[in-house]
Chains A and B, each alone.
Chain A
Amino acid sequence: MSERTLYDKVWDRHRVATLPNGQDQLFVSLHLIHEVTSPQAFSMLSERGLDVAYPDRTVAVADHIAPTTVEGRERPLADETAETMLATIEENVAAAGITYYGLDSSEQGITHVVAPELGLTQPGMVVACGDSHTATHGALGAIGIGIGTSQIRDVFASGCIAAEKRAVRRVDLEGDVDEWVSAKDLMLRLLADLGVDGGVGFVYEYGGSAVERLDVEERLALCNMSIEGGARSGYVEPDETTVEYLRGREHVPHGEAFEALAEDWLSFASDDDAVYDDHVTVDVDGLAPMVTWGTNPGQAVEITEPVPDPATLPPGDREAAADAIDHVGVTPGESMQGTPVDVAFIGTCTNGRVSDFERAARVLEGRTVHPDVRALAVPGSQRVKRELEASGVADVFVDAGWEWRESGCSLCIGMNGDVIYDDELCVSASNRNYVGRQGSKQGRTVLASPATVAAAAVEGELVDVREVVG
């Protein structure tokens, strides 16, 4: 078992007891909830006549079903089931006394975007949310754990979850990469190398020269996709970059209290003599931008590489690869470059932050969206949207022909009416390319970084972004 890693330290600080079944009872320092997975948990709670034990450690948002147009957000929502969801969470949070960033809040946005940017997520915390991308919060040196509805009920009722400690795998990403190669590309490389179930049973501690250089927004993108590799949590140890990111944010203290807290945060970093259960090093030196060619996030290649021939893959992966190739309509042996694109999407809890749009804007500057492409920019939060509007980045998108929207999950999951149609191919800065994910059974999703999405929007086909800007 691991010792003296951040994971061990955070776990020890939050462990309440060992349960009779051998699991640990773990206190949750921050419980994030949203409109889709919480209503059933609230009803289970009231069926038992129980109250929310720690409302001050619970924060709610509306994100999955949030319409992304101003008119669409008028109440009641046109979609009746969505309206019911909103009305339900509004009643529940009001009764429980929980802070809620609803559709009309200036802080509304995707949970995993809002909590870090408000400084709610802090190093050394256990963050739980009824959402599989809760690992995102690991970017700040917290342990993010995605939970199901019965566990949400547990946190409501007791402030805790019953959890089993995982093994810790140190993942070092080593090497120098080009400025147009982002955390998303690093992560797709890792997923392609270790597979979509390579991390089952593990928590990932990301490190190495390529990770240390990343700013917090990039680290958020990296940790976000831990679950795509099968790891329930993933984190980066807190350092000066983390402290500077949090300084001045809404929910952190100021002045001396901040300095004292910062010292505590840094102490969560793994000790030099920490013991890991496993260690993997991935060479990312000179990595090219990555794209997926299939229907899971591990089916990815560098844009300059050919799509693999299923026959060359490990026997267990062949059938799925052949089905994926058939669904997406790509050709083994040829690169993804030149694949026509119908829709381009930038946003989500992976790549919907300020720096994601800024980098894409540098690609879009002075260029326009290809006439055959529908391009959608959906900031991860209203705060991200405001900042980009103030700095002029929003204008670059609008001038290039993008639809500039209100914040929400949008086309990541297609629950709010933003969907792709028929067999459209969408190049997307999101995290999942499962069949049907974006709202159409025949639809096709290619995962890529925001810069690669922007370049594809301009060219109307998948391209190496370095050639477009170069």
Chain B
Amino acid sequence: MTDGATVPTVTHVSGRGVPIRGDDIDTDQILPARFLKETTFEAMGEYAFHDQRRDDDGAIHGDHPLDRHPDGEVLVVNDNFGCGSSREHAPQALQRWGVDGIVGESFAEIFHDNCTSLGIPVATAPHDTIARLQEYVEANPETVVELDVENERVSYDDTVVEVTISDSMREALVEGRWDTTELLRSNMESVERVHESLSPTQR
């Protein structure tokens, strides 16, 4: 995006579901640390859940949910998803693999904020709601899961469930204000006042 370009709004996303089961799925599982060595995000999509998707000899074994649902766009996850490191590479990898939204029991905070910065909505729902959705998309992989960001709802076939999206994320996505750089730069005079009031760090 270049300076002054408008930021798209994200009011809803939809696509086939991918159930990724398990609590505390950390960023090292989502994007193993050795791929952090690349200085651009370009190739990250290939590395999503790299180690879990491959045998010891490096071949994709096909049992991982990403490979069982290769056209999936909405991840359905459990508790504390994205815990661990601050690497934006993790949501970048998921987005570049094709993920447009994530529904889960709960998310680690930095991961949540990184998703906001990338325009990926993440919504939470109680354990049972998530478990039913995971079972459903497992059994019906063709089903389109729709995440309505504005109204905090997920619908699939005949079912509609309430979900929660944090106020700040919902606002940012719906209003097209998830690119914070422009927002922050519009206050540079006030920034300078705060800067002046603080003691210098380097002497």
- Name A residues whose Cβ lies closer than 8 Å to a Cβ of B: 13-17, 19-23, 25, 27, 29-30, 36-37, 39-40, 43, 47-50, 53-54, 56-57, 59, 64-65, 79, 81-82, 84-85, 88, 99, 120, 122, 125, 130-132, 134, 146-151, 153-154, 157-162, 164, 196-197, 200-201, 227, 230, 232, 251-253, 261, 264, 296, 316-317, 319-320, 413-415, 432, 434-437, 439, 441
- Any chain A CB within 8 A of the CB of B161? no
Q: Write the B102-120 contact mask toward A (1 if CB under 8 angstroms, else 0).
A: 0000101110011001100
Identify the 3 closest CB pairs spanning chains A and B, nearest first: A150-B117, A148-B88, A158-B184
In the complex, A280→B34 CA distance in Å?
Answer: 37
Tell me if B29 is interfacial: C-beta within 8 Å of chain A: yes
CA distance A420 to B177 in the complex (A): 44
Contact of A147 among B26, B56, B80, B110 (CB under 8 A): B110
Give the chain B neighbours of A154 by CB distance below 8 A. Answer: 180-181, 184
Contact A56 B202 (CB under 8 A): yes
Please judge, given known A-B contacts A19-B183, A85-B39, A164-B168, whether A57 and B201 are in contact too, CB under 8 Å: yes
For window 43-62 of B, CB contacts with A under 8 Å fall at 51, 56
CB pair A158–B28 under 8 Å, yes or no, is no
Is A27 touching B80 in the complex (CB atoms < 8 A)? no
The one of B28, B56, B87 that contacts A436, using a Cβ cutoff of 8 Å: B28
Given contacts A36-B36, A64-B36, A197-B24, contact A148 B113 (CB under 8 A): yes
What are the interface flags for B142-183 relative to A under an 8 Å C-beta threshold, 1 for contact and 0 otherwise? 000000000000000000000000011001100101001101
A150 in complex: contacting residue of B2, B51, B180, B200, CB < 8 Å: B180
Measured CB to CB, the nearest residue on chain B to A146 is B86
- Do the beta carbons of A436 and B113 come within 8 Å of each other? no
- Give every chain B residue within 8 A of A30 (Cβ-Cβ): 201
Of the stretches B11-19, B65-73, B133-141, B190-198, the one at the interface is B190-198
Per-residue CB proximity of B76-87 to A under 8 Å, as 1/0? 000110011111
Question: Least Cβ distance of B29 to chain A in Å?
Answer: 7
Complex CA–CA separation, A227 to B111 (angstroms):
12
A185 to chain B, nearest CB (A): 22
Evaluate contact between A21 and B171: CB separation under 8 angstroms.
Answer: yes
A82–B203 Cα gap in the complex (Å)? Answer: 31
**Distance of A21 Cα from B50 Cα, bound (Å):** 35
Most-contacted residue by chain A among B33, B110, B200 (CB, 10 A): B33
B187 touches A25 (CB 8 A): yes
Give chain A nearest CB distance to B56 CB in angstroms. Answer: 8
Roughly how many angstroms separate A200 CA and B145 CA in the complex, as a whole number? 28
Residues in B neighbouring A84, C-beta threshold 8 A: 39
Can you list 21 A-B contacts (CB < 8 A)?
A13-B198, A16-B190, A20-B177, A21-B171, A21-B172, A25-B190, A27-B191, A36-B36, A39-B39, A40-B40, A47-B2, A48-B2, A59-B202, A146-B110, A149-B117, A197-B80, A320-B24, A414-B34, A415-B36, A434-B26, A439-B34
Contact B200 A415 (CB under 8 A): no
B88 touches A14 (CB 8 A): no
B128 within 8 A of A: no
Contact A435 B194, beta carbon cutoff 8 Å: no
Is B6's CB within 8 Å of the partner chain A?
A: no
A84 to B89, CA, bound (A): 18
**Residues of B close to A82: CB separation below 8 A:** 37
